Amino acid sequence: MFQLDYGDPRPLFEQIKDQIKTMILRGVLPANQQLPSVREMASNLTLNPNTIQKAYRDLEAEGYIYSVRGKGNFAAALSQQLKTEQQTQLKKQLKETLTAMLHLGISPEEALQWVKEAYHTEGGEPQ
């Protein structure tokens, strides 16, 4: 179900968190969709249930999922606040990238070209 990279310096629970976040933000996991149980996911990924639980607890604290004792974990409805946060972060990220490009000697015109190009090559599905 998920892709773990043991070479990645980032901890496993973070990798799991990010993948779930992405799925929720992109609508792959609709609201109230049930997630695999802590034990099941742990079994599938061959790691400890505690690791999954940490990921789930964090995600709940951040508003991406909600937990119901005895029932399971479910994708939360994507709040406007969460969307706005994400947008803000993406904007910041975009600006950082553009700044780095500028300082590397790439003109704004070239940058715009890159942007258009990125859209034209959509379907390659980066990441």
Residues that bind a second copy (CB under 8 A): 9-10, 25-27, 83, 86-87, 90-106, 108, 111-112, 114-115, 118-119, 121-122, 125-127
Tell me the two tokens of residue 18. 């990010």
Q: Which does 123 bind (CB under 5 to 8 A by kind): DNA, a second copy, none?
A: none
What is the rounded distance in angstroms from the CA atom of residue 94 to the CA atom of residue 88? 10
| Residue ranges in 45-74 that form contacts with DNA under rule CB under 7 A | 46-51, 53-54, 56-57, 60, 67-73
Are the beta carbons of 15 and 8 closer than 8 angstroms? yes
Reported as type and span, the H/E element at residue 4 is: none
What is the rounded distance in angstroms from the CA atom of residue 8 to the CA atom of residue 60? 24
Q: Name the site residues for DNA (rule: CB under 7 A).
A: 9, 11-14, 35, 37-40, 46-51, 53-54, 56-57, 60, 67-73
